[in-house]
Structure 1
Amino acid sequence: MHRTDGRANGGAGGGTAAGRGARPDDKPFYELSRWATKVPQEERTLISTAYRDKVEEDLKFVENVPGVPKPDPILVADGVTRRFGGMTAVDVRHFELERHGVTALIGPNGAGKTTFFNLLTGFDAPNTGTWRFDGHDLGRVRPEQVARMGMVRTFQLTKVMSRLSVLDNMLLGAPDQPGEGMFRALFPFTWRRREKANIEKAEALLERFLLIKKKDDLAGSLSGGQRKLLEMARALMRDPQLVMLDEPMAGVNPALKQSLLDHILALREEGTTVLFVEHDITMVRHIADWVVVMAEGRIVAEGRPKEVMRDPSVIDAYLGARADIDLGDDAALGRLEAADGAAATDGMTETGGASAGREAR
């Protein structure tokens, strides 16, 4: 069992190797889940809590205001705007993402969250603005170069290669594949060892994401939730520093939701920073270290989850006339969802009754 002192690797200062992105003990990240949940010895902390402790300590005294500076940001954006004709989809004055944290980007539909993702990862070009990842300017960097630098993303609609096997989809994400060159492909001894290492890594990730039995199946045969898992696993083939997940829970059945949640939390404990878009407020409140709220293209609030959920601007953006509901209260949200479901059922019943009446006439 591998253990270490949580303060040694994840202290508030963020100046240690772990605080700057190095993975502890140089162990392959996909092996961490095999031992991370075991009980630690007295007065010692499992390494799986070191990064969480660091982020909590770093963010303890950060103000809950839009654009607030962070102690150890890995991503910084300034003056980013994107306009489509006369409509401004994104207008972010300043944004910082804390290293090693799980940050949720939330907001109503049409708030500009996915567009902001596209701008940061090079899939779209802004009208104005600059942004830096780990100190590197990304303003004119293509998406594939962004990924090579350690900043990868998934999509709201999964982008798997349906006619390739699950394993081949995984191998597409491997960063070092010398056998793809036309000349070196003629000499297998130059690439065979690297190919074997890539396959072993892909299979280890597929086992971790419970997809190992599907490795030889076509990716197109997977369910929607399994495709989400495959896309996340493929992103990890690059050992990224930052993973950006666009609505990872959308269209996923409840049985797989918990698995995805566990994987998101595991990413943080391996030293990976996570930024994800999500609409499930209850889930966000329970797993996010920090929450950023967008509405009409702007960041209107950010802070620790429980405090953000009580912010009047956040409640208004989500609920409007129902602004007396506390977004941080699971019971209140449950009652609200039940009331909405009952109202929808009543509406369908009334519609059905009216239709039956018309048919009778």
Structure 2
Amino acid sequence: MADTTDKTSETTAAGSTATVKEPFYDIAKWATKAPEGEKLISTAYGDKVTEDLRYVKNEPGVHKPDPILVADNVTRRFGGMTAVDVRHFEIERHGITALIGPNGAGKTTFFNLMTGFDTPNTGTWQFDGKDMAHVNPEKVARGGMVRTFQLTKVMSRLTVLDNMMLGAQSHPGEGMFRSLFPGAWKKQEKENREKAEALLDRFLLYKKKDDYAGALSGGQRKLLEMARALMCDPKLVMLDEPMAGVNPALKQSLLDHIISLREDGTTVLFVEHDINMVRHIADWVTVMAEGKIVAEGQPKTVMDDPAVVDAYLGAHANIDLGDDSVLEGLEGGNA
């Protein structure tokens, strides 16, 4: 259960002891394994999602108890090829959902459609009860649904802090006329900066805040993009292959940060090829192949689904093709 007890204390000038509550985001330091003698600050959302999904059937397009994103009949064709053909798709609120599948399955294209970066041939979808079909990306982000990219989109010639500031929704001083009256925007600018610095501290990038973003490593850029996405207080974060190209030393940190997003009340949908990572942190797994959803379920069961094995390895993945009699049998079956 949730442990909301205060973690530290300090002595005031008067000599009395005041209790100081540890920041919630410090869960990112040990989200998957608490230090000896300590407990996780809260697992309330994780516990709720686990309970809600306990009795949901493991089948494609299944309905969820509390969906935050619902998509129907979404298709995207490029010439004669159908890249996405999703009949029904739902994401459970406050859960961590993994979208997996082989290269070319349509996962990133589906991300692009949901966030307004591409236009579908058919389909409708609602986010938190609001129609999001054919909505521009900036309006999608303002509505609470933000995404990161497989190839990070940081501004290399801006500092890390400036990159963070770009993610804030309110910039009242950016207009030419209002910029002449600092009193109208200084307070908001200060709040944006404080929020950006707090997030950089949370993602272990505070010491890099004055460095150019182009000087960061690949893993640090992933952290920066994730931190910047949180500047607008999203309800849903969509991460496109957050572990791609990341140094193994930073992978555990990224895993912990993704879990901490859920425990902070944010829903997470991520695309990933690292099956071990999926097993480790996902509450629910959705499998795409050839643009369609072919399987859904809890990680411990969906990985053994024949449709999943077929999607990744092929229908005859476990057959010894060096055995001539097997090859003859396959040829006979395909005749």
Same fold (TM over 0.5): yes
Give the match for residue 264 of structure 1: 258
Give the match for residue 195 of structure 1: 189
Amino acid corresponding to residue 229 of structure 1 in structure 2: L
Amino acid corresponding to residue 23 of structure 2 in structure 1: E
Q: Is the 2:99–2:271 Cα contact (8 Å) retained in structure 1? A: yes
Of structures 1 and 2, the one scoring higher in RCO (CA 8 A, sep 6+) is 2
Give the match for residue 234 of structure 1: 228
For the residue of structure 1 that corresponds to 2:57, the secondary structure is coil
Q: Distance in 1 between matches of 2:280 and 2:212?
A: 35
For the residue of structure 2 that corresponds to 1:310, the secondary structure is coil
Give the match for residue 156 of structure 2: 162
CA shift for structure 1 position 31: 3.2
Give the match for residue 13 of structure 2: none
CA shift for structure 1 position 324: 4.1
Q: Is the 2:309–2:315 Cα contact (8 Å) retained in structure 1? A: no
For the residue of structure 1 that corresponds to 2:169, the secondary structure is coil
Give the match for residue 331 of structure 2: none
Amino acid corresponding to residue 34 of structure 1 in structure 2: D
For the residue of structure 2 that corresponds to 1:147, the secondary structure is helix
For the residue of structure 2 that corresponds to 1:108, the secondary structure is coil
Q: Distance in 2 between matches of 1:286 and 1:3?
A: 22
For 1:88-99, list aligned pairs within 5 A: 88-99=82-93
- Specify which of 41, 46, 63 is matched with residue 69 of structure 1: 63
- Specify which of 7, 10, 25 is matched with residue 33 of structure 1: 25
How well do the aligned residues superpose, as a CA RMSD in angstroms?
A: 2.3
Give the match for residue 357 of structure 1: none
Q: Is the 2:66–2:92 Cα contact (8 Å) retained in structure 1? A: yes
Amino acid corresponding to residue 241 of structure 2 in structure 1: E
Give the match for residue 309 of structure 1: 303
Residues 170-207 of structure 1: CA distance to partner in whole angstroms, max 9, x if unpaired?
00001111111222111101111111111111111111
Give the match for residue 246 of structure 2: 252
CA shift for structure 1 position 3: 4.5
Amino acid corresponding to residue 257 of structure 1 in structure 2: K
Report how many aligned residue pairs link the two structures: 299
The reply on whether 1:209 has 2:227 as its aligned counterpart is no
Segments of structure 2 that go 5 or more residues without pairing to the other structure are 6-20, 320-335
Residues 258-308 of structure 1: CA distance to partner in whole angstroms, max 9, x if unpaired?
110000000000000000000001110111000000000000000000100
Give the match for residue 133 of structure 1: 127
For 1:341-352, list aligned pairs within 5 A: none
- Specify which of 75, 84, 94 is matched with residue 81 of structure 1: 75
CA shift for structure 1 position 221: 0.9
Q: Distance in 2 between matches of 1:34 and 1:242?
A: 20
Amino acid corresponding to residue 31 of structure 1 in structure 2: P
Q: Scaled by the length of structure 1, what TM-score is found?
A: 0.79
For 1:16-27, list aligned pairs within 5 A: none
Q: Scaled by the length of structure 2, what TM-score is found?
A: 0.85
Q: Distance in 2 between matches of 1:112 and 1:282?
A: 21
Q: Is the 1:78–1:95 Cα contact (8 Å) retained in structure 2? A: yes
Cα–Cα, structure 1 residues 167 and 322, in superposed 2: closer, same or farther, change >3 Å? Answer: farther
46-55 or 263-272, which deviates more: 46-55
For the residue of structure 1 that corresponds to 2:273, the secondary structure is coil
CA shift for structure 1 position 47: 5.5
Q: Distance in 1 between matches of 2:130 and 2:4?
A: 31
Give the match for residue 170 of structure 2: 176
Higher-helix-fraction structure: 1
Runs of 4+ in 1 over 4 A off after TM superposition: 2-5, 35-39
For the residue of structure 1 that corresponds to 2:23, the secondary structure is helix
Amino acid corresponding to residue 217 of structure 2 in structure 1: S
Q: Distance in 2 between matches of 1:59 and 1:125?
A: 31
Percent of pairs with identical residues: 77
Residues 120-145 of structure 1: CA distance to partner in whole angstroms, max 9, x if unpaired?
00000000000000000011210000
The reply on whether 1:100 has 2:81 as its aligned counterpart is no
For the residue of structure 1 that corresponds to 2:42, the secondary structure is helix
Amino acid corresponding to residue 79 of structure 1 in structure 2: N
Q: Distance in 2 between matches of 1:80 and 1:51?
A: 29
Q: Distance in 2 between matches of 1:165 and 1:175?
A: 19
